[in-house]
Amino acid sequence: MQLFIKLKILLILMKKYNWLYMMFMMMSSLFMIFLNNFYSMWVFMELNLLIFITLLILNSSFISDKSMKYYLMNSFSSMNFLFFFNLNLMMDSFYFLIIINFMMLMKLGMFPFHYWFIDMLVELNWDMYFFLISWQKLIPLLILNYCFNFNLLMIISLMGGIFSVMMIYNQILLKKIIGYSSINHMGWMLMSLMMNFNLMMVYFLSYMLINFSLIFILNKLNFIEINNLMIKFKGLQYYFIILMILLSLGGLPPLYGFYMKWFFIMEFSKVYNLLLLVLLILYSLMFLFYYFRLIFNFTMLNFIMLNLFMFNKFIYSELNLNLLMFMSLFITLNMYIFFM
């Protein structure tokens, strides 16, 4: 018992350094935007890897294989990235460029390198979960911006979309559902990256904001499985927020998540084949159908709590008015980045 108390106190003392490591992790990713040399990119990529592993250790009650799994996958891809990049400088081969693309897809946890990504998401707490599915994807996307192969990324995006749609219907864990949704959205990001870097940043920032809102609510309510949405009733306002965030993540107009996909649709329809666009929209609609089915189940179970008085009280509360104002401001910022 005393040993357990000492370990708990030690973890509390260690967590006070979280903000410092998070700041370094974000800085290491942001510096990549200003670099145009693959060697310097590799250095910052490794620095980001070490900082994130430190965060994993600090935020783990028991140091299991999470940090080692992340280290092995990312160090293997980084080592091969550096090796084949050097070979490409000497021989300038098309196949070396393909391998570099595969290494970055491995870092992204994209299909068919998704197994380590999904398994690790289940083991993480919600804080590290958010960083892994959002912020840690920025560095591989920035590197792919300089050396992508269109045909490869197009095939991976389409295959990842249909794979995530097939897998999400078998899941009851919310972490796996959001993880497969991340693979689907990553296909949109890869396709937008090949058209316009600003478009990719708009999509990435919008996706990160929506996931932050959803994960914040799920963490606060301690929801782990789908059944928790139906059994643990925590108040109407929380369910309304989850409903709106899920529909926004699915891209239902006129919610916020629709705008990031609308920017993509406008640009993609001008440049590439409309069949590819229809397939991406179809995958997104399948996810939206799943979210509708999920929302319908826990809404019908708690329909007695749904009354007009509570709904009006929620809409006109000061907290949610501020949330709507913040969303409007973020839409304006994304439109500025996209059209600049």
* 253 vs 303, residue with greater confidence: 253
pLDDT computed for residue 209 by the predictor: 86
Q: CA nearest 38: which of 104, 106, 110?
A: 104
Q: Please state, rounded to an integer, the average pLDDT across all residues of the chain.
A: 76
Q: Tell me the C-alpha distance between 182 and 274, whole Å.
A: 23
Q: pLDDT, tens digit, for every residue of 18-37?
A: 677 777 788 888 888 887 78
SS3 content of the chain, % helix, strand, coil (to 5): 85, 0, 15
Surface-to-core class of residue 50, CB atoms within 10 Å of its CB (0-12 exposed, 13-18 middle, 19+ buried): middle
Give a three-class secondary structure readout of 85-107. HHHHHHHCCHHHHHHHHHHHHHH
HSE (CB half, 13 Å, CA atoms) of 211? 25
pLDDT(331) > 80: no
CA distances from 160 to 184, 237, 279 (A): 6, 34, 12
Q: pLDDT, tens digit, for every residue of 80-95?
A: 888 888 888 778 777 8
Q: pLDDT, tens digit, for every residue of 256-290?
A: 888 888 888 888 877 777 788 888 888 888 888 88
Q: Considering the chain, what percentage of its residues have pLDDT values greater than 90?
A: 0
The strand pairing partners of 173, in sequence order, are 225
Report the SS3 class of residue 63.
coil
pLDDT(45) > 50: yes
pLDDT computed for residue 199 by the predictor: 84
Please, what sign has the CA dihedral across residues 88, 94, 96, 98?
Answer: positive
pLDDT(328) > 70: no
DSSP secondary structure string for all residues of 209-229: HHHHHHHHHHHHHT--BHHHH
CA distances from 56 to 25, 69, 132 (A): 12, 11, 10
Q: pLDDT, tens digit, for every residue of 118-141?
A: 888 888 888 888 888 888 888 898
C-beta atoms surrounding 118 within 10 Å: 18
Structure confidence at residue 315 as a pLDDT band (50, 70, 90): very low
CA distances from 280 to 24, 244, 303 (A): 35, 22, 34
HSE (CB half, 13 Å, CA atoms) of 252? 15
pLDDT computed for residue 231 by the predictor: 60
Residue 110 in tokens: 């994209």
The strand pairing partners of 225, in sequence order, are 173
Report the SS3 class of residue 125.
coil
| Packing angle of the helix pair 174-193, 197-221 (nearest 10 deg) | 170
Q: pLDDT, tens digit, for every residue of 149-171?
A: 888 888 888 888 888 888 887 78
pLDDT computed for residue 311 by the predictor: 46
pLDDT(318) > 70: no
Token pair 């990842």 in the structure block, residue = 160
The strand pairing partners of 1, in sequence order, are none
Structure confidence at residue 232 as a pLDDT band (50, 70, 90): low
Q: Tell me the C-alpha distance between 67 and 56, whole Å.
A: 6
Report the SS3 class of residue 113.
coil
Token pair 């068919």 in the structure block, residue = 112
Residue count (the chain): 340
pLDDT(235) > 80: no
Mean pLDDT computed over 226-250: 71
pLDDT computed for residue 162 by the predictor: 86
pLDDT computed for residue 260 by the predictor: 82
pLDDT computed for residue 51 by the predictor: 85
pLDDT(67) > 50: yes
Residue 121 and residue 173 in contact, taking contact as beta carbons nearer than 8 Å: no
